Amino acid sequence: MADRSRVWRFAVGMRNPSQITLLISLFFATVYPLTLSTEGSRVLSVYAVYFMWISLAESWNLVGGYAGLLNLGISAFFALGGVVGALALFDGFPFIISLLLAGFAGAILGVALIPTFRLKSFYFAIATLVVPLVVKPMVEFLGNRADFTVPQTVILTPIGLYYSGLVLAGITIFGAYFLMQSRVGFALRALGDDELASSSLGINVLLYKSIAVLTSGFIASAAGAYYLQIIGTINTTLFQNLNFSLFPIFMVIIGGIGTFEGPVLGAVVFSLINYYVTSQFPGSTVDTFILSLMIIGVAVLLPRGLVSSLHELRKRRTPIPVK
């Protein structure tokens, strides 16, 4: 009973406009495929990329946004998830198991980062930058190849891909929300604000940083196994693909760092702009230039991201009664 009331309290806590918008969007995302014909449902696989980015951005936000640890090597978790997912599918495991195995592999990689927790933020960031460089050759050596292509028979149908992505993103979003409403979330926010103060209050710094990094690693790797379903192959160059390390950070900055709805908005906005820009300038580097300018613009003009700026705008417009 106590648990039910707790869940209810969390649920009714979701009442600010961006959270309500998020719930409505999820509802429409759930019913949208029902409006499509069998032929038209092919378009669903396009949306899979959005779900993947939402999960990856939300995963980065747990560590970078809440716990204040700048992880520059999330591509390592992502690519490892893809590789483990492929190996699991080769071994005949179903998709859901491949996702879970990839997640556990990501959490184990997170354990490898624990010794770096005592480093100051800048040095921690450098350490995470090294992770992809270390894991990539290890994977190539152990797997004895650089390319992990799975047969078409184990790839999900567009509608399966869409709904599994929606579930992955949904679990990630609400998982992050519930986590941040819990005592663990408060401790993480405190850690991100001031590590010394948190530590002196009895917050077990190592424990909470570990929870953040392991959870984030799990989600990022599961997203990697999901990405495998989108493109059908994982090459180990993915470990060092800067896009997968930097884009989640950009998305969180655009949406709003340290908020649970920010990464969702950031992932959607960034992916849309990225899609538009790359289709306007195919094969050139102009897209990177424009995206970089956009990030600098957001950092200067909306340093707390879209979600916080929308909240502030709403507050400003709300009349305050004078006593």
Residues contributing to the site for another protein (CB under 8 A): 183, 186-187, 189-190, 193-194, 196-206, 258
CB of 123 to another protein, least distance (A): 15
CB of 203 to another protein, least distance (A): 6
CB of 193 to another protein, least distance (A): 5
HEC letters along the chain: CHHHHHHHHHHHHCCCHHHHHHHHHHHHHHHHHHHCCCCHHHHHHHHHHHHHHHHHHHHHHHHHHHCCCCCCCHHHHHHHHHHHHHHHHHCCCCHHHHHHHHHHHHHHHHHHCHHHHHCCHHHHHHHHHHHHHHHHHHHHHHHCCCEEECCHHHCCCHHHHHHHHHHHHHHHHHHHHHHHHCHHHHHHHHHHHCHHHHHHCCCCHHHHHHHHHHHHHHHHHHHHHHHHHHHCEEEHHHHHCHHHHHHHHHHHHHHCCCCCCHHHHHHHHHHHHHHHHHHHCCCCCHHHHHHHHHHHHHHHHCCCHHHHHHHHHHHHHCCCCCC
CB of 185 to another protein, least distance (A): 11
Residue closer to another protein by CB (options 261, 287) is: 261
Q: Which residue has the tokens 């003009």?
A: 301
Residue closer to another protein by CB (options 42, 183) is: 183
CB of 260 to another protein, least distance (A): 14
Residues 277, 290: contact at Cβ < 8 Å?
yes
Residue closer to another protein by CB (options 92, 202) is: 202
CB of 192 to another protein, least distance (A): 9
Residue closer to another protein by CB (options 68, 81) is: 68
CB of 202 to another protein, least distance (A): 3
Residue closer to another protein by CB (options 190, 223) is: 190
Residue closer to another protein by CB (options 195, 287) is: 195
CB of 299 to another protein, least distance (A): 19
CA distances from 181 to 110, 174, 242 (A): 23, 10, 32
Residue closer to another protein by CB (options 147, 193) is: 193
Residue closer to another protein by CB (options 50, 66) is: 66
- Between CA 77 and CA 280, with CA 254 as vertex, the angle to 5 degrees is 90
